[in-house]
Structure 1
């Protein structure tokens, strides 16, 4: 199955464009974060940077999805990549002025809100239905891996060519992504409405469609939850390494990020190769439950209890979290693809993207404060309990079915 999807030339064009834009955008994000911190030494300023990236998704994501449903997806991908490449070039002139960066970041993020639903809508347009799980597994893996690779590359690239040179590297990546977008086929939107009133009516239609479709609603909530989990863990990672494992915070990447990304890669390969043997709902439920268990255990890996095995168990846990985290994202996205009509696809992705950013934004602001009050380990354990609850809530029909089978054999649960 994986080989079949990699032989699809149109998919390779789309996937390669995603790799270039995601990796370079994450590299730029990390570079700008460093610049703002170096210039201001202020956590509030860095928070404003995060807000500049996040707010457009919350307020404009759904509207962008409605408009994408009316446009040619290929043209939307070309336009968004080209516009962002030109905007990125402007950073060269304002890198030394941190607060001048924020409006430009906001505009780039605004354009990205049109790119996200266009890219999501393009996948079913270039991939056969029976290959969607494989395609989504690769895209989900790329999103997570590109975040780490972008952050890792940022430092060496800046040392090699300087901050302005790094911006030019990102600019070139977006130009290449623009060219790759010209190679995919035209995928016309199915919605033909016009006018502001129609836009909000179509947005309401998408929200209503998600809410009334139980499986679609569960998939959207699963994608939102797993992204909130990723953001929370990334915010608590340095504190966990320092306070729970009692290790140098500089080792956070080695202990948390590297094994987590490796797990995501392995999980993507497993899903691409064997995923069609299981239902998407089962994979999502399994991902939630195992991830919740791992997080609860993860919080107790302290050296005074386990000695040198504490970091070893933390590394193994992060690897397992990566594997089963991918069991949530890719199958849930596949459910969205399968159950969303073509004329609603862009709107649905716009709404889900808004949910992801809106919910993920909250842990960034509150996780650190809660960890300072209750301890990093306790907060991580609490989040694990939440994931366990969500997993069992989703999987209760399996438990009910099992209870009937066991009960029919004369056993009591």
Structure 2
């Protein structure tokens, strides 16, 4: 393990934040898998699954724009504690509504409403507890956690349902969220930031956050990149049941071992082996280009090669493709998040992450619904090929335009310093 990781793991406050993220992400992925399986098994429709993601996105559209300044003004520690506890209640309430499908969307809506406060507060908290030189490693670990939580959440959910019934992912999720609240409760109470400001100052903070992003190319570029990645990931999540059923010919509850676990292995390889070797010697934009190429190769394999195979060979190639996909996700997300945190002043981080959450939702909702509709008409395989084309186009755009864009603004910054 690298010295940077050793230093990070000795940071007790970071470990408290990290455990909260692990518990929160494992919970939402366990619950998502259980809900996706139930909805698809009852409806057989990707559109019905897409409504799950749209419901999750609605709170960001409703309150996302006003959350950022609140995060900067309030105690991030208190926000993390309260949201974890309320999300535990929301997940546990599944027992009251499990006989009908519609109330399940309500649970997702409430959880997401609370997430609009949790996610920006968590992202803005990292630099308070992690030295700047360790931010790339911390972001690598956080991005890995998102991938690993998908692995553990999806991998756990199916066996839990089979062994203990459909309620178990929700019970375990509630327990994990309570433990997450206890973990962040131990964070230092003192934080930087102003309190008790007037509405005029609050509104000024709100509008300035979006203006700041728009006029800061080194922040805008990674935000656009993350938006594109999240859109593609959301589309994959929506068509996942259909792809498993129509292309791999597997039961949904058994398919996580073919795609999800290999994806997590790829993320582990990228975070602990590939990134530590390349980030110190290779520019971040080159790492991003490599991530896009890996994503394109993964999707082309799933869309062209895997459907032509059969039996165990088909599953094996799909698993290898998923490993490549996990690597791609880390190579894209870690450099992008590191740039955002390096280029954002501490007093602006809550607003920037609040803006990011809102913009991600706007970017995801329409493509997700459109992709689900197309999937129901022409099949999930075609959607995978469309995503591969998008990744390839993105690579060429960054290769031909992005590097010049970065070099120009770097030279501008150097001239300004002189």
Q: Which residue of 2 aligns with 1:364?
A: 368
Partners of 1:133 and 1:271 within 8 A in 2: no
- SS of the equivalent of 1:299 reads helix
Q: What is the Cα deviation at residue 8 of structure 1? A: 1.4
| 5+ long unaligned stretches in structure 1 | 402-413
Aligned partners of 1:98 and 1:375: how far apart in 2?
24
Q: Which residue of 2 aligns with 1:410?
A: none
Aligned partners of 2:247 and 2:37: how far apart in 1?
26
* Aligned-residue CA RMSD (Å): 3.0
Q: Which residue of 2 aligns with 1:225?
A: 228
275-284 or 248-257, which moves further after superposition? 248-257
Q: Which residue of 1 aligns with 2:399?
A: 395
Aligned partners of 2:311 and 2:101: how far apart in 1?
44
Partners of 1:117 and 1:349 within 8 A in 2: yes
318-327 or 163-172, which moves further after superposition? 163-172
Aligned partners of 1:397 and 1:44: how far apart in 2?
36
Q: Which residue of 1 aligns with 2:250?
A: 248
Count of matched residue pairs: 400
Q: What is the Cα deviation at residue 175 of structure 1? A: 1.2
- SS of the equivalent of 2:266 reads helix
Q: Which residue of 2 aligns with 1:3?
A: 6
Aligned partners of 2:403 and 2:334: how far apart in 1?
24
Partners of 1:88 and 1:170 within 8 A in 2: yes
Matched, 1:330 2:307: no
Equivalent in 113, 123, 128 of residue 120 of structure 1: 123
Q: Which residue of 2 aligns with 1:321?
A: 325
Q: Which residue of 1 aligns with 2:387?
A: 383
97-106 or 53-62, which moves further after superposition? 97-106
Q: Which residue of 2 aligns with 1:150?
A: 153
Equivalent in 43, 64, 77 of residue 61 of structure 1: 64
Partners of 2:150 and 2:260 within 8 A in 1: no
Aligned partners of 1:134 and 1:51: how far apart in 2?
32
Partners of 1:54 and 1:109 within 8 A in 2: yes
Partners of 2:210 and 2:355 within 8 A in 1: yes
Cα deviation digits, residues 282-313 of structure 1 (max 9, x gap): 21222123322443354220565899755444
84-93 or 207-216, which moves further after superposition? 84-93
CA gap of 1:7–1:232, structure 2 versus 1, over 3 A, is same
Matched, 1:300 2:304: yes
Aligned partners of 1:25 and 1:17: how far apart in 2?
12
Partners of 1:289 and 1:392 within 8 A in 2: no
Q: What is the Cα deviation at residue 266 of structure 1? A: 1.2
Q: Which residue of 1 aligns with 2:16?
A: 13
Structural mapping, 1:199-238, within 5 Å? 199-238=202-241
Equivalent in 342, 347, 369 of residue 343 of structure 1: 347
CA gap of 1:189–1:42, structure 2 versus 1, over 3 A, is farther
- SS of the equivalent of 1:69 reads helix
Partners of 1:158 and 1:166 within 8 A in 2: yes
CA gap of 1:342–1:383, structure 2 versus 1, over 3 A, is same
Cα deviation digits, residues 29-73 of structure 1 (max 9, x gap): 333445556777877665544333221123222322220010121
CA gap of 1:375–1:178, structure 2 versus 1, over 3 A, is closer
Aligned partners of 1:335 and 1:209: how far apart in 2?
15
Q: Which residue of 2 aligns with 1:407?
A: none
Cα deviation digits, residues 247-281 of structure 1 (max 9, x gap): 43556433322222211121111356333333322
Partners of 2:83 and 2:118 within 8 A in 1: yes
| 5+ long unaligned stretches in structure 2 | 406-418
Aligned partners of 1:42 and 1:366: how far apart in 2?
13
Aligned partners of 1:145 and 1:349: how far apart in 2?
22
Q: Which residue of 2 aligns with 1:289?
A: 293
Structural mapping, 1:108-187, within 5 Å? 108-186=111-189
TM-score after normalising by structure 1: 0.85
Aligned partners of 1:163 and 1:372: how far apart in 2?
26
Q: What is the Cα deviation at residue 131 of structure 1? A: 0.7
CA gap of 1:306–1:365, structure 2 versus 1, over 3 A, is same
- SS of the equivalent of 1:395 reads helix
Partners of 1:74 and 1:184 within 8 A in 2: yes
Aligned partners of 1:36 and 1:293: how far apart in 2?
30
CA gap of 1:368–1:105, structure 2 versus 1, over 3 A, is closer
CA gap of 1:302–1:212, structure 2 versus 1, over 3 A, is same
- SS of the equivalent of 2:117 reads helix
Partners of 2:295 and 2:391 within 8 A in 1: yes
